[in-house]
Amino acid sequence: MSRALTDQITLAGRTAPARVIFGPHETNLAEGRLFSGRHVAYYERRARGGAGIVVTEVASVHRLDHPYERAPLAETNGDGWARIVAACRPHGTLVLAGLGHCGLQGSSAWSQSALQAPSRVPDPSTRELPAEMTGADIDAVIEGFRRAAAIAVAADADGVELDAGPTALLRQFLSGLTNHRVDEYGADRLLLLREVLTAVREELGTKRIVALRLSCDENAPWAGITPDAAAVWARDLAPHLDLLTVVRGGLYTPETYRPGAHTPETFNDELCRGISEAVDGAVPVVLQGSVVDPARAARALDGTCDMVEMTRAQIADPDLVRSIRDGREPRPCVRCNQACLVRDFRNPIVGCIGNAEAGHETRPPVRPTRATRDVMVVGGGPAGLEAARVLAERGHVSW
């Protein structure tokens, strides 16, 4: 049966109003390591626009994991999650707390401590050499995930999403590129992820969502995670999950998680379809990867996935799902990454070249003018179209 982006979907007994996800991403909206009022407004705006699920910016589960200056810290963000949930729930949108640890792909500049990793493999980007984690370090990370999950439950989040994506410690334990251990965590690279899932499930129970973001291809077949290996893991983990998001990228190719316009749209179609076939309906699967066109996204629901993650598309147009419901074309995302990719020492605020509101949702709304004017707009690019839209919203006539 054909499915639509605006169809509901039930996960762990909780119903999302649409099959479109606003996924986790860095925003630099935090105040220190705390979710801010700007975060609340940012997520509420996408919920108001019809998003089925909002996954919050990934919060570090351990204080020594401080990957960028304004990275949220789970242990201090119970109130922040609670405010985000309270803002999104009236719109029916489910809220998942993003939880993770960056391991060797973090930064000691902010933690002022050695990076932790499965093995002493340097990050090719920073060339920083991490410390190999001891048994006590691993236990502390598992406990960090457990505590973070408990805080999310206390905040009444609908669930959590665990990050095992391109820059995550959980992925580093899975990969032969970064896991050279000779103990049980090397013999069974899936062991840590299983232990984290068990700890988190114990805190959430069966009536909240446990989701996993899993890198299923590191683009390094000589030692990294391959689609075939990921398919086996996905089958193994499916009974313990309520949602599985298929992503790509790893130690040498983290940029393939969110590439620019040079990479074809929905480039993970084949990878996601393979994982969907492997789990065979045991867990709903999410397609991620330059999904910005509603027509392509809708087609993917017929055989490739059960939900689609359209994060950049909803940065560009927070009313994307509402527009689809109303039969209107949403404001397009051109996948330029110019304003929405903000991992930068200058801490730019998340934004969009086509949507001046993005990241600034706390600004006062545009009010109609008292004196209408005829205004000539020169140029029909993103800036010109946005200028014409705002002029019309205020009551002016543009041409």
Six-digit token string for 335: 């996948």
Are the beta carbons of 256 and 166 closer than 8 angstroms? yes
The residues with which 318 forms a beta bridge, in sequence order, are: none
In the chain, the amino acid numbered 375 is V
Which pLDDT does position 1 carry in this prediction?
A: 52
What separation, in Å, do the N-terminal and C-terminal C-alpha atoms of the chain show? 45
Q: Which among 56, 58, 44, 55 is positioned nearest to 20, based on CA atoms?
A: 55
CB crowding 322-354: b at 16 or more within 10 Å, else e: bbbeeeeebbebebbeebbbbeeeeeeebbbbb
In the chain, the amino acid numbered 106 is G
List, as one string, the DSSP characters of 263-318.
SPTTTTHHHHHHHHHHHTTSS-EEE-SS---HHHHHHHTTTT-SEEE-HHHHHH-T
Six-digit token string for 76: 């201090």
Phi, psi of 79 (to 5 degrees): -65, -40
Which pLDDT does position 330 carry in this prediction?
A: 95
Mean pLDDT in residue range 15-40: 98
Are the beta carbons of 253 and 219 closer than 8 angstroms? yes
Query: What's the rounded Cα separation, in Å, for the pair 271 and 287?
Result: 9
Are the beta carbons of 309 and 287 closer than 8 angstroms? yes
Q: Per-residue pLDDT tens for 133-169?
A: 999 999 999 999 999 999 999 999 999 999 999 999 9
Which pLDDT does position 300 carry in this prediction?
A: 98
Mean pLDDT in residue range 271-287: 98
Q: Per-residue pLDDT tens for 30-50?
A: 999 999 999 999 999 999 999
Six-digit token string for 95: 């809220």
Q: What percent of the chain lies above the pLDDT cut of 70?
A: 99
The per-residue pLDDT of the chain, averaged, comes to 95
- How does residue 380 score in pLDDT terms, banded at 50, 70 and 90? confident
Residue ranges of E strands in the chain: 9-11, 14-16, 20-22, 53-55, 59-60, 94-100, 116-117, 131-132, 159-164, 209-215, 243-247, 285-287, 307-309, 374-375, 397-398
Its CATH architecture, for the domain 9-355, is: Alpha-Beta Barrel (3.20)
Six-digit token string for 352: 């969009």
What are the residue boundaries of the structural domains of the chain, listed by start?
9-355, 364-399
- How does residue 372 score in pLDDT terms, banded at 50, 70 and 90? confident
Which pLDDT does position 388 carry in this prediction?
A: 85
Distances (CA, A) of 201 to 5, 150, 198, 243, 390: 28, 10, 5, 13, 47
Mean pLDDT in residue range 340-351: 94
Query: What's the rounded Cα separation, in Å, for the pair 13 and 144?
Result: 26
